[in-house]
């Protein structure tokens, strides 16, 4: 019950990692505000939480600052405080084109959601955390923000921006005892990565998924959620400004497992 009497906002909560985070936080006593564009997915997440959980839902587009500002105000009105913010929502964009062929609109859309969505929620939620002199923000970045080969140009750049935003924001908020960290997932089976898994299964190559990381497998949303909840908890009370890979060892190698001597 690490999160008893604490209030958490989770974006991208309709599926995947966001749903797993909501389940873990609620199971450990948190009151949760679930945010996503997918109303049906939010309701499905809420239905899967423990019966005693206090749950609040809002369907919105996190790239729209005015909607985010109102959402944070409404969460405060409902629960009285915000202790945890999980900036998890994101999009891949589906664009793997080379830079010479890139579509500027794709870049703008990905940056608006993946970067500015986190900026908007942090801007308004951190004001409350600053007043209460406590809080934890956990951003979902990606190994794609650390090295190339894990996503398209725009997606990778957006996740690199999230990592740097994590560090600069940690410096902004540290004096008020507000911690800011990030996780960098590797290949995790979620709605975003569903096309990758579907293609591999269609050609009977599922066993190759994740085979280039040191653990030789892909990850589960619950494994990322466990690390997010650690960073959000008092167990990580002296950790801030860090981007922690949750990737089976992928970023520790040259994607050649067993070749390090």
Residues labelled as active-site residues: 155
The C-alpha atoms of residue 176 and residue 168 are separated, in whole angstroms, by 14
- Written as six digits, the tokens of 116 are 């500015």
CA 106/CA 164 separation, integer angstroms:
21
Q: Does residue 17 sit in helix, strand or coil?
A: helix
Using CA atoms, how far residue 25 sits from 126, 167, 207, 221, 226, in Å, is 19, 24, 31, 14, 9
Count the Cβ atoms, other than its own, within 10 Å of residue 205.
Answer: 11
CA neighbor of 121 nearest in space, from 87, 76, 160: 87
CB atoms within 10 A of CB 127: 12
Task: Judge whether 96 and 154 are in contact, CB under 8 Å.
Answer: no
Other beta carbons within 10 angstroms of residue 128's beta carbon come to: 20
């Amino acid at each position: 019950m690490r999160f008893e009497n604490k209030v958490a906002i989770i974006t991208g909560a309709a599926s995947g990692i966001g749903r797993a985070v909501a389940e873990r936080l609620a199971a450990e006593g948190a009151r949760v505000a679930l945010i996503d564009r997918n109303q049906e997915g939010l309701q499905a997440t809420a239905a899967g939480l423990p019966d005693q959980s206090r749950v609040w839902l809002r369907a919105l587009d996190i790239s729209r600052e005015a909607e985010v500002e109102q959402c944070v105000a409404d969460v405060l009105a409902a629960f009285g405080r915000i202790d945890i913010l999980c900036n998890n929502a994101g999009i891949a964009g589906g664009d793997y084109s080379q830079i010479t062929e890139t579509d500027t609109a794709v870049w703008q859309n990905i940056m608006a959601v993946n970067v500015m969505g986190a900026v908007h929620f942090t801007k308004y939620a951190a004001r409350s955390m600053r007043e209460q002199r406590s809080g934890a923000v956990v951003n979902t970045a990606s190994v794609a923000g650390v090295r190339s080969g894990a996503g398209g140009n725009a997606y990778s750049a957006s996740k690199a921006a999230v990592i740097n935003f994590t560090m600069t924001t940690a410096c902004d908020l540290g004096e008020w005892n507000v911690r800011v960290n990030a996780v960098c997932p590797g290949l995790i089976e979620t709605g975003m990565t569903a096309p990758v898994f579907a293609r591999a299964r269609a050609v009977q190559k599922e066993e190759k998924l994740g085979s280039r990381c040191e653990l030789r497998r892909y990850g589960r949303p619950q494994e990322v959620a466990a690390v997010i909840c650690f960073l959000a908890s008092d167990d990580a009370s002296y950790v801030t400004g860090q981007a922690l890979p949750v990737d089976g060892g992928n970023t520790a190698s040259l994607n050649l497992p067993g070749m390090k001597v």
